[in-house]
A and B are shown apart, each in its own frame.
Chain A
Amino acid sequence: MWAHVWGFLYSNYFRFWLKWVLRLLTGKCELQRLLGGAEAGARRTLSVEHSLESSKNKVLRNAVHVEEAEVEKCVRDVMKEKKIGQKDTRFKTNLRISLLQISGYKKLYLDVENLRKVPYDSENEEHEEQLIELWHLLMPHENLKARISKQWCDIGFQGDDPKTDFRGMGLLGLVNLVYFSKHYTNEARQILSRSNHPKLGYSYAIVGINLTEMAYSLLKNGALKGHLYNMVSGLPQMEHFHQFYCYLVYEFDKFWFEEEPESIMHFNQYREKFHEKIKGLLLDHNVLLTLPDTKKP
């Protein structure tokens, strides 16, 4: 209750006066203080994002929704609005980077969402090719005897036709699986073979699709901001999302075998525990969740 009242008073009144006092003392506006001081990365961009979003000025508030092509113009407009000389190149460059990161994150979410919304379609040749590619990447020494085959269970699909396993994750689930197997082939094969453990085993592909959901929901609720702002000083790309997925697969496998669950039936309980662990790591402003550098070009 008091926290609510305080939050309301702060964001509506005190924040304004605090900014005014600081401006008098330092001779700089909030954005100048943020962009001139802190090092590049999550801390700075998150503060800039918050400052812009809670601004009373429309130009500033709209800056977080600007498209890539408009960023240059938006930077100039913000500087004009805050009466900052256009010659302040440091401010200009830093604001530009932050705006690219902020709008890039929103764009990345839309791209990921669009891929997720494409249902897996076995009539679509491109989809089928990727599915077959996944098989070859994971099982280089074994031929797939037929498109509909019990063999799919060997890489952790549920039955003889993987097409029904992608569900709500659509093509995103498959693209993630293929990306990991293609760029971290050794790790993928190793994890697949570990996942066949007689007692602690799990279904590799299905768990992969579950982890796509985890990566997707973290992106959707903004939890990945810190990580991506630290990772890319510009526009984050689809590839960076896939990279984060790879991190999850790799780390989940380690986590699972360290925890030694009784059986696969406890999957959701450990998935949740792992989820909490990742959410905790993502709260740190210096977070950077990447795999050891073994990626193939």
Chain B
Amino acid sequence: MGLLSILRKLKSTPDQEVRILLLGLDNAGKTTLLKQLASEDISHITPTQGFNIKSVQSQGFKLNVWDIGGQRKIRPYWRNYFENTDILIYVIDSADRKRFEETGQELAELLDEEKLSGVPVLIFANKQDLLTAAPASEIAEGLNLHTIRDRVWQIQSCSALSGEGVQDGMNWVCKNVSTKKK
């Protein structure tokens, strides 16, 4: 194979597209995370009505990230976005202990969804920049994550505000996409 054809071949393999679904309760920090991933300004965020979508290039992948509003009133619409999801990212406000039960219930329901069966799930224990944030291990225990056996999963502590931990989570995402798709 000549150099030219190798170059041509390299050029003709476009980035593999990955559909990522970002879910969680309202005020969990999904939009901040999305903007952090796209390296956008995070100081003017407003509550999400409907959804936001952004495409981010990462490690040879084109990540199409769907950030769906978390307000109770629009959670019934979540299911419209399940189809063809490669990775589910579930975001939790680690400082909002009063809603741990609610967020656990929503997650459990998502994991029961047929259209999401087998989809790898990354749980971001967000807002670790707050003093009152629960550590990821405590959240993992509270949500009984160890009982998840039908898919790969990971919990990652992060602060979408400072960006800390976000890249580690995304590395996990890219690793698990490749094993599933190839």
* Residues of chain A at the chain B interface (Cβ within 8 Å): 153, 158-159, 164-165, 167-169, 173, 202-203, 206-207, 209-210, 212-213, 216-217, 263-269, 271
Contact = CB atoms under 8 A, between A and B. Distances in A.
B51 interface: yes
B176 interface: no
B12 interface: no
- Residue with the highest number of chain B CB atoms closer than 10 Å, among A169, A268, A271: A268
Interface stretch (B55-63, B68-76, B84-92): B68-76
B47 A202 contact: no
A159 B44 contact: no
A219 B85 CA distance: 39
Contact of B72 (A159, A210, A216, A268): A159
A203 B71 CA distance: 10
B73 A268 contact: no
A34 to B, nearest CB: 35
Given A158-B26, A207-B49, A168 B80 contact: no
27 contacts: A153-B73, A158-B47, A158-B73, A159-B71, A159-B72, A165-B47, A168-B42, A168-B44, A168-B45, A169-B44, A206-B71, A207-B49, A209-B46, A210-B47, A210-B49, A213-B44, A216-B44, A217-B44, A264-B49, A264-B50, A264-B74, A265-B50, A265-B51, A265-B74, A267-B49, A268-B52, A269-B50
Contacts of B27: 158-159, 164-165
The size class of the interface chain B forms with chain A is: 10 to 19
B172 interface: no
A276 B8 CA distance: 41
Contacts of B51: 265, 268
B5 interface: no
Contacts, number: 67
A267 B50 contact: yes
Contacts of B26: 158-159, 164-165
Chain A binding site: helix, strand, loop or mixed by DSSP?
helix
Given A158-B71, A263-B77, A210 B44 contact: no
Interface of B: 26-27, 42-47, 49-52, 70-74, 77, 80
A129 B72 CA distance: 26
Contacts of A167: 45-47
A210 B51 CA distance: 13
A173 B47 CA distance: 11
Contacts of A212: 46
A267 B77 CA distance: 13
Max count, chain B CB within 10 A of own CB: residue among A153, A164, A212, A265:
A265
Interface-central residue, A158, A203, A207, A266, by most chain B CB under 10 Å: A158
A202 B45 contact: no
Contact of B46 (A213, A263, A264): A213
A266 B45 CA distance: 18
A169 B47 CA distance: 10
A33 B77 CA distance: 60
A271 to B, nearest CB: 8
B121 to A, nearest CB: 22
A153 B75 CA distance: 14
Nearest to A263: B77
A99 B113 CA distance: 62
Contacts of B46: 167-169, 173, 206, 209-210, 212-213
A153 B73 CA distance: 9
A169 B43 CA distance: 9
B73 A168 contact: no
A206 B74 CA distance: 13
Contacts of B77: 263-265
